[in-house]
Structure formats: C-alpha cells, structure tokens
Amino acid sequence: MEARSVDEIPRGKEWQYEPKWDGFRCLLSRDGNIVDLRSKSGEDLARYFPEIVSAALQLKADRFTLDGELVVPHSRGFSFDALLQRIHPAASRVKKLSLDTPALYLVFDLLAAARDMTLAEKPLSERRPALEAFAKANLKGSPFRLSPTTTSYATAKKWLAQSGGGSDGIIAKRIDLPYQAGNRDGMQKIKKFRSADCVVGGFRYATNKIAGRNVVGSLLLGLYDAKGLLHHVGFTSAIKAEQKPALTDRLEALIGEPGFTGNAPGGPSRWSTERSAKWCPLKPKLVIEVCYDHFSGERFRHGTSILRWRPEKAPRQCTFEQLKQKAADPMKLLK
C-alpha cells in the first residue's frame, strides 16, 4: 500500500490520519519460528535488524502480518543516519549496532492474524480495532509500538505543524477501503517543507551542453558553522534550461578557491545520483533560498528546489542555526 503525494490534508469522514514516520517501511510477518522483514522494494531486511526478529519471536501470537516502520531512537527523535548504518554487509557490525542503537518497529496496520488471516481484505475501519486488540494482547514490553491515529482534522494539522525529529508529515488513509496493495488509491501523504538560505559554494557542469557550450548543472550549497567554516550541505539542480547560460556566466566570474572551508563535496554518495566528482569552487558571494524536506547528518538528504536568490543577504548570515526547529517528541505519540 503506497501513498500519493498531495499538498493539503484531505478532509471528510472517510479519512483517518497518522504521523508519517521517517524510517524504513517494512512488512513484518511471523509464521511459527519463521520471521520475515520485507522492505517496500521487496528486499529482505531481517539480517539487518536481528533485535526485531528476536522480539517478534518472543510475542505471544505466532502467526501474523504487520505493516509498519523501522526507526532508531536518538535523543528526542529518530535518527535516519543511524538507520542507514544498519545496511552493512558485515554481520559483526550489524550485531554491534543492534546492541548500541536498537531499533523500534512502529506498527500501523494488521493484515493477518491467527484468528483472521483475511484482514487485508477488510476496510481499515475494521483493521484498526483488530490491530489495537492485537497490540494490547501482544506488544507490551517489546520494541514494537502502536502508531497513533486520529479522525480529527485539527489534530492532524497540529501533527503536521510539529513534524520533525522523526516525523516528516502526515499520512491520510481511507477507512472505508481494504488494504490497497500495489496502488495509491487509499493513502495520501502530506509533507512539511521548509526553506533555508544557503551560500553557493560551488557548482558542477551539466552533462549535456547547450548551443555547444558547457553550462551549469547543479549548485552546491553551503552553511557556516559556529567557527566560521563553510560546509557543503547539499545541492540543487532545479535550474531552468533557458536560465543556464546566463547563470553559468555569473558563476564562472566567481570561480575561486577554496569554495568550502569545512566539509567539501566528494564523489557519488548515498545522497546523490551518480555524477562526476569534479566541481568548481566559488567565492562565497551568492546566497539562494531553497526549499527542502529533510535535513539530517548535516546535509539535505534530497535535492532541493530554488525559491529565490537573496542578493540582500550577507553570506555569513547563512548558518546552521536557522535550521533548528521545535518539534514534538515522537516517543510521546507512541503507545
């Protein structure tokens, strides 16, 4: 069951709302002594989360299928970077991380249970009470947590406004539909997007030329830390083709070392698509406001979109401080 991205929270009696957790979506099933953890793409996740497999085997119920999210608690939120560290080939490393940074499994749907193996065929209005009864009978004292729900639009708006630190928006689900495996008809997601003013510390040329000349492909974004070092934090490639030649002229006039004085761009990483490691450093003169959804590990996790240039803003004003936000403690929402 997948979600369709929308801009506004849908309203109506047919909708139920939940926090949108910032983790790994995972179908978890148990059949006797066999536990299976499966990602949305079909990848086997069991070897990466042995503590969840062990906990599932300790539950009273021995035959069930759950839909939920794997997260790793950190401070007053969840750490996506700690979660990414689990996808490691060495079994010894996985075992150490499972002890040092144990995961939680946040449950939001019950698709099958020993008493009713056809729950997925029933509407959410029946599946949710079945899940709550299952949680009450089985999940207490385990690393499984029941994800909250509400039918209140006002509460959903509050959750969206307070998202961050582990929740990145709202999920809206149709309570009158069975589990919509493989389509987006029964679920919508609404993310909270934020903006940040960044220094353009460098750029990369595009793979394709325009009118026979090299043009900019992406801008490399930077923020200053408390010590005055400019760190590379992400990129934006949302540049209109007709604007690239003039922007390239503007950028080439500012080429100069070092560009970034702190963390500098490297080659391809888990945050980027495959591209050349070559980049051109710029003098810190240009400021741009970008829109982003996630910031973790001192980086924008995804590419950003351009909102506007900020010629009136001093580059030194573009600091990490602006990204600090008040967010609800996600652990207080869990049961």
Catalytic residues: 20
> CA 19, CA 17: separation in Å to the nearest integer?
7
Q: Where are the beta strands (DSSP E) in 82-228?
A: 104-113, 144-146, 167-174, 187-191, 194-205, 216-224
199-237 residues labelled b (16+ CB within 10 A) or e (exposed): bbbbbbbbeeeeeeeebbbbbbbbbbeeeeebbbbbbbb
* Assigned token pair, 227: 């010590």
* Assigned token pair, 226: 């408390």
CB-based contact 54:47 (threshold 8 Å): no
Secondary structure class of 124 (helix, strand, coil): helix
* Assigned token pair, 327: 């967010």
Angle at 38 between CA 34 and CA 41, to 5 degrees: 155
Closest Cα partner for 30 from 87, 99, 107, 92?
Answer: 107
Q: Which helix (H) or strand (E) holds 25?
A: strand 24-31
